[in-house]
Homo-oligomer: A and B are copies of this chain.
Amino acid sequence: MPWEKTFDLDEATDKAIQVFWKKGYEGTSMADLIDGMQINKGSLYNAFGSKQELFDRALLRYDQKTRATFVADLSQWEDPVAAINAFFERLLDEAQSGPESLGCFIINTAQDLPNQTPEVVNIVRASLSELEEFFETMIARGHDSGRISADVQARPTAQALLSMVVGLRLLSRGAVDPSTLTSIKDSAMRLVTSS
């Protein structure tokens, strides 16, 4: 049994994520991917099959590596308000680190849902739905512990927070200045902690 692999599939996928993240599916050419992944064309097709399969894999891996693990961590925090705050704080950090922010790969893709395959639609919907569920769970937990007013309805507020995440992420792609993003985060927290 000879030599089974040389380059790491996950590492290569991570590089593909960067390319798709910035340029989107349509805007990315195979030449872009070969450049970014530093892999030969033959190896790419041998390992991933097609551009679409690579995109699906990249999108899924991005979601698991970032959103899923982070939300799972935060879910174990004792203070749900602090957990929600930490989530938004991270969005601000990402938006302000480096010269240009890429926003969120999932949300970028969500914008293009009408032109995406059913597989991609499922991945995006599931990711957004789990994020909303995280917010809802945190708010409900805040009700129980008394940290969040019962006037703050769990589900509607969770949906509003989702929309502010989406807005913040999209606007962080060069549409507004950083101070606006901070305002958005503050208002989001006000939705949770008000009266």
Contact = CB atoms under 8 A, between A and B. Distances in A.
Interface of A: 22-24, 26-27, 100, 102-103, 107-108, 110-115, 121, 124-125, 128, 132, 155-157, 159-160, 162-168, 170-171, 173-176, 180, 183-184, 186-188, 190-191, 194-195
Given A156-B186, A164-B167, A128 B175 contact: yes
Q: Which 3 pairs across A and B sit closest by C-beta, in order of nearness?
A: A163-B167, A160-B187, A166-B167
| Copies per assembly | 2
A171 B110 contact: yes
A114 B166 contact: no
18 contacts: A24-B112, A27-B112, A114-B174, A124-B175, A125-B175, A128-B176, A160-B187, A162-B171, A163-B163, A163-B167, A163-B171, A163-B184, A164-B167, A166-B167, A167-B170, A187-B191, A190-B191, A195-B195
